[in-house]
Copies of this chain bind each other. A is one copy, B any other.
């Protein structure tokens, strides 16, 4: 599985889905992907939380995946294929595999949060992994799933499945708890799901990150990873602090709408989120611009 480890190493952008007046803008998505292709990003995640996958119809999701497949340009492409049910998640994962996606990142179900115990989640993921033509990544994000959280016990068991290759963790504490208990003989790779704990996670054994700031600021995110691999820890820590503060001002305060505003500031075509998510006001967008400048990043 060395090849898988290599493919997962580095920084991924959970690419946003642009809208204008609630309409899906596939050309803007294409524009952004071509611009991101010039960066050192390892790859893209299509239809993640930042991709507002829950706000798209089934057909729209297909169209989004098609654009990614066409604009792959040598990057590693992952698709978010989670549905609330095992059955539909399998269907969507198979479709993504057919279209050329190399990994599926699968969020825990969340609607029936109280029922999502170890047995339910292990059964869910094992059935999907059995059926999937491509390796899958667990995706733990209690902030989007009513608090559902994969337990260390469940992760240990799932890590032994041959077709489950890793995990993205976006919980507030980061992936430390999982890294601690994983059997390092298993080929199971951890990706940090937030700029807040991306840098610390690297020190703890994560192979990379899928971080929303890589949408507007791919270069600094890749720089941080590079500084870590070069063991330039003082420079890395300084950059970590700058990115974390910016992340608090952008994603922490405004969620996807903030990421899109930052993209617009940086010359991408982020567009707007789909309602009920509300785009930033002009004054909020100005503050995002100021925060980017204040942390010393160049505006486009």
Main secondary structure of the interface of A (DSSP, over half): helix
A225 at the interface (CB under 8 A from B): no
Min CB distance A203 to B, Å, is: 5
Min CB distance A57 to B, Å, is: 7
* Contact digits for A18-60, partner B, Cβ 8 Å, 1 yes 0 no: 0000100000000000000000000000000100001101100
* Contact digits for A139-177, partner B, Cβ 8 Å, 1 yes 0 no: 000011111000000000000000000000000111011
CA gap between A91 and B145 in the complex, in Å: 25
Min CB distance A194 to B, Å, is: 11
A95 at the interface (CB under 8 A from B): no
Min CB distance A282 to B, Å, is: 16
Of residues A85, A115, A143, which shows the largest number of chain B Cβ atoms within 10 Å of its Cβ? Answer: A85
Are B237 and A204 closer than 8 Å at their CB atoms?
yes
* Contact digits for A232-264, partner B, Cβ 8 Å, 1 yes 0 no: 010001001100110010000011110000000
Are A200 and B176 closer than 8 Å at their CB atoms?
yes
Q: Give the number of times this chain occurs in the complex, counting copies.
A: 4
Q: How many residues of A contact B (CB 8 A)?
A: 61
CA gap between A233 and B146 in the complex, in Å: 37
A196 at the interface (CB under 8 A from B): yes
Min CB distance A233 to B, Å, is: 7
Are A275 and B180 closer than 8 Å at their CB atoms?
no
Chain B residues with Cβ below 8 Å from A4 are none
In the complex, the chain B residue whose C-beta lies closest to that of A87 is B22
Are B276 and A120 closer than 8 Å at their CB atoms?
yes
* Contact digits for A182-202, partner B, Cβ 8 Å, 1 yes 0 no: 000000000000001101100
Of residues A110, A111, A114, A275, which shows the largest number of chain B Cβ atoms within 10 Å of its Cβ? Answer: A111
Are A88 and B197 closer than 8 Å at their CB atoms?
no
Min CB distance A107 to B, Å, is: 10
Chain B residues with Cβ below 8 Å from A1 are none
CA gap between A54 and B200 in the complex, in Å: 34
Instruction: Decide: A114 near B143, CB < 8 A? Known: A200-B204, A237-B203.
Output: yes
Min CB distance A230 to B, Å, is: 14
CA gap between A128 and B296 in the complex, in Å: 37
Are B275 and A85 closer than 8 Å at their CB atoms?
yes
Can you give 8 contacting A-B residue pairs, CB < 8 Å? A112-B255, A115-B256, A173-B173, A180-B240, A180-B244, A199-B204, A203-B203, A203-B233
Query: A-side interface residues toward B, CB under 8 Å?
Result: 22, 49, 54-55, 57-58, 84-88, 109-116, 119-121, 123-124, 127, 143-147, 172-174, 176-177, 179-181, 196-197, 199-200, 203-205, 233, 237, 240-241, 244-245, 248, 254-257, 274-278
